[in-house]
Amino acid sequence: MPFTPFHFGSALLFATLFGYLDFLTFMIANVIIDFEPFLVLSFDLDLRYGYPLHGFFHTFIGGSLVALALAEVMAKFYKHLGKEINIKKLRITALSGVWLHIVLDSFIYTDIKPFFPLSWNPFYGVFSASEVYGFCIGAFLLGVPLYLLRKIRASS
């Protein structure tokens, strides 16, 4: 998605529905791989070197590397805060978030090859861009009250 904030909608809904996931890690995981298109656009990597807007890190292999690195960073962050760490939970959370991002983007971008090294993208065209964006907006609108309700229940 050209506008990463759309990913926050689906992230918020799924993180709220699946309480096992670490909320902060999942939210970050859903947007972190968009550093790749940001760098491509910022440094004209597509024009200078032919690097695709959605390249290696928008594949399940590349995204998994980012997710596992994120899990390690989050473990150190939580350790620094004195919180209990469950590295398996952080890894599952980060992988789930990154993979959700890849799947959503795969529906609408021709340059994404989720199963690299295969060039096949079975997700492309299953949903239109407006359907994916609509889902993300709807997920956000549903996720906010669910998140608030969850917080209210947890504090009482």
Q: Where are the domains of the chain?
A: 5-155
Structure tokens at 86: 């469950």
Residue 135's pLDDT band, with cuts at 50, 70 and 90, is very high
Q: How many Å apart are CA 104 and CA 123, to the nearest integer? A: 9
**What value does the mean pLDDT of the chain take?**
93
- The answer to whether residues 12 and 100 touch, using CB atoms and an 8 Å cutoff, is no
Using the predicted structure, report yes or no on whether residue 57 has a pLDDT greater than 50: yes
Q: What per-residue confidence (pLDDT) applies to 1?
A: 46
Q: What per-residue confidence (pLDDT) applies to 145?
A: 96
- Look up the pTM and report it: 0.92
DSSP 119: -
Residue 25's pLDDT band, with cuts at 50, 70 and 90, is very high
Cα dihedral: 69, 70, 73, 77 (round 10): -170
Over residues 90-116, the pLDDT tens digits come to 999 999 999 999 999 999 999 999 999
Mean pLDDT of the region 131-154 = 94
Q: How many Å apart are CA 98 and CA 6, to the nearest integer? A: 14
Q: How many Å apart are CA 101 and CA 107, to the nearest integer? A: 10
